[in-house]
Amino acid sequence: MDKAADAGPISKERYRDAMAAVAAAVNVVTTDGPAGRAGFTATAVCSVTDAPPTLLVCVKRDSSVGEAFHANGVLCVNTLAPEHETLSNLFGGRTPVEERFAAADWIIGPSGAPVLKGALASFDCKISSIVDVGTHAVLFCEVLGVGGGEGREGLIYVGRRYDTVTAFAMAAE
């Protein structure tokens, strides 16, 4: 029988090459509060449970924005549409925080975190716990408010480039 996957220690490069094949939604994750406004682009976002509504976000601990999320204790996950590709690159690193936010319109969510106007979906959250794993902090977040979800095209990142998918409308309650 053929082996399903490589065994033994996996290099960072091998791991990233395999992960590059995994399509992911693109999000701009924002925060505001005593430590000030901050935000970064993240594909490492995942739904955990709907009771209580909880998602997780993985943030590199040595990034310029990581500390602000710890200190503010709140965040908003803004899931991007295809027209937000430039915004994704701005929030993807090496751009001063004020320049990142100046490129779009924002409103303040229930938690105080900036909500992107025109996001495909938005999840306003308080950070309920943080677990450090290797280079990243995993932020577990309780969702306080949701927005968007009316269904149109979504931005995805796969094969080290952006692409577009049809996003389905949220069921009406």
Ligand X SMILES: NC(=O)C1=CN([C@@H]2O[C@H](COP(=O)(O)OP(=O)(O)OC[C@H]3O[C@@H](n4cnc5c(N)ncnc54)[C@H](O)[C@@H]3O)[C@@H](O)[C@H]2O)C=CC1
Contacting positions for ligand FMN (CB under 6 A)? 26, 40-44, 58-60, 63-65, 88, 91-94, 157
Which among ligand FMN, ligand X, none contacts residue 16 (Cβ within 5 to 8 A by kind)?
Answer: ligand X
15 exposed, middle or buried (CB, 10 Å; 0-12, 13-18, 19+)? exposed
Local structure of residue 9 (DSSP, 8 states): -
Q: Which stretch binds ligand X (CB under 6 A): 13-21, 28-36, 79-87, 105-113?
A: 13-21
Q: Is 60 in the site for ligand X (CB under 6 A)?
A: yes
**Residue 30 Cβ vs ligand FMN, minimum distance, rounded to whole Å:** 11
59 exposed, middle or buried (CB, 10 Å; 0-12, 13-18, 19+)? buried
Q: Is 61 in the site for ligand X (CB under 6 A)?
A: no
Q: Is 43 in the site for ligand X (CB under 6 A)?
A: yes
SS3 of 25-83: the string is ECEEEEECCCCCCEEEEECCEEEEEECCEEEEEEEECCCCCHHHHHHHCEEEEEECCHH
Gap between the Cα atoms of 85 and 22, Å rounded? 18
Query: Segment 68-97, which members bind ligand X (CB under 6 A)?
Result: none
- Residue 116, Cβ neighbours under 10 Å: how many? 26
Query: Are residues 72 and 31 in contact, defined by beta-carbon separation less than 8 angstroms?
Result: yes
**Residue 105 Cβ vs ligand FMN, minimum distance, rounded to whole Å:** 20
Q: Is the CB of 3 or the CB of 160 nearer to ligand X? A: 160
Q: Which stretch binds ligand X (CB under 6 A): 16-24, 78-86, 102-110, 162-170?
A: 16-24
Which stretches of the chain bind ligand X, using CB under 6 A?
Answer: 16, 19-20, 43-44, 58, 60, 135, 160
